[in-house]
Structure 1
Amino acid sequence: MLSFLLSRVLSLLTVVFGVITLVFFLLHIVPGDPVQVMLGESATPADQAQLREKLGLDQPLLQQWLTYLIQLQHGDLGHSLYSQEPIMDILLQRLPATIELAIAGLFIAILIAIPLGSLAALRQNTVYDQGAMIFSLLGVSIPHFWMGPLLIIIFSLNLGWFPVSGREGWSSLVLPALTLGTALAAILARMVRATLLEVLHEDYIRTARAKGLNEIAIILHHALRNAALPIITILGLQLGTLLGGAVITETVFAWPGIGQLTVESIQQRDYLVVQACVLLISLSYVLVNTLTDLLYAGLDPRVRYRV
């Protein structure tokens, strides 16, 4: 297990370094000048040169990259080019909203997918199974930028049940969480159905039924536990996405999370904030995937790690 953990840590550092380097150079290659965005088109060349020197943007690109890497080694993400606030403070302000939305979306997905996928597996080739698969097909096919406005039109503008956008109490969380949760539930329900169909015909399931256990106990304590590994994998990957900030959903609902911060920073050419957001997203992916791997051993004792 120790060698496995060390290999995962090494993999984490390698991925993060690659992401940081790639994003740094890509952001500096794309058209756009943060100095012009900050000062406006009417600024004189002298003012632009002075601000560029103050921000360190007059240095060679390689020197800027090395400086950024040295700052990261000391835990310093730098200051926003646009607002001059410490980037760590900006991330800490936005991160709770993203975590809140991610947990809510994941909860809705599990609440929908587990019963729906289980019902489809237990009633294979029936109307219940077909209905579950139609829901899954729709959930996968409908993009967030269409589902979000649709929910706003129905539940906010027509019915007036929930706010259109923003983050003001639990009611403003419902629609963005539904947008994220239904899409994830569609994928998860298909996975639950497929994995349950593989284990429902195993000998230990027949033995449990022969002992007189009711169907709910068999599904919860025997079938789902042994079918959990692919489901946990999907949940881990999707949770990494949600924690990184569901960019489209946060933008549609003006949800003040990491995703919206990333879009705003790209529009402002705020290189350092974009790099910090991408760093956070990549770390979320790798850490969640590592935790998912560690859960495997607890769920299935047959799993053995070899490096």
Structure 2
Amino acid sequence: MSVIGYREKIKLLNNKDDLFIKLQKINNYSESQAENVKYEILNISGDEFYLVSGDRDNLLKTTALNTHRITKFDKDFKNDVEEALEYLKQNFEEFYIVIKENVKYIVNLTLKEDSRDIDSTITSCSLPNLPYVIFISYKAGYHIPPSNVISTKNKVLLAENIYHEAIHQIVNMSILKKNVLPKNYSSATSPKIDIPWRKQQKEERNKAWELDRVLHATSVYANLLQFRKKMLNEIVNNDFKEFYKEACNSGEESFNHLLNSLYEKIDYFDVDGKDIIENIKTYYS
């Protein structure tokens, strides 16, 4: 696995095959609560992923995703996820391996009806207290960051968003296992960095980001730029190629803003955090 900024693989648990174990250890779920999480197996040429189909105790209640609900994958969305992962495995194995090693459970989210005035449907998301678990919505086939949206779904966008969340998993695990942030670091008191392309968001928390969130985004963009360049070389449809080329350009602008802002605040990080930032900056120098 070659991930820009991160020198080594980090595993949070030895056993990645049981979501129930992770819930009990990390979220203090009881065994009976954990068993309420239901999933179906998605087989990608012998590799198993788990599509979460429901959770009666609602994993989302204590998270910033409490405006959403878990929705069972319908046949079309399941096929879309399968096609996207198969596409990567057959054509871009280096990216597929990053997903295989860092993503096990995929959760489909829908915005609740009573939350439409205060939030918008997420495209994709990961949470530090749920390692190997990623959240996506139907938008993952239409939207990639920072704000590139297409009217017809495409497997490349869905594949990118899944890869995107795999990088978030690596950052999460690094923060949990290494000296990335000082022991007294708190998101509540962290300096904020303005995010120009998020100024129209409904929630204030999305308009300026804390340093840990900026580290996540910088790490993701550092790797997505390489992903996009390789994808761009393979795209034959002219309209989609133009769309994706614009995504490459806007992604690079966002990345440069994030990296420069982060580098200005590098002294707020611990030794491993500084190392990650320096590695990313060196790679793109």
- Identify whether the pair has TM-score above 0.5, normalized to the shorter chain: no
Q: TM-score range by the shorter chain?
A: under 0.3
Q: Which has the larger radius of gyration?
A: 1
Determine which structure has greater relative contact order: mean sequence separation of CA pairs < 8 Å that are 6+ residues apart, divided by chain length: 1
More helix by share: 1
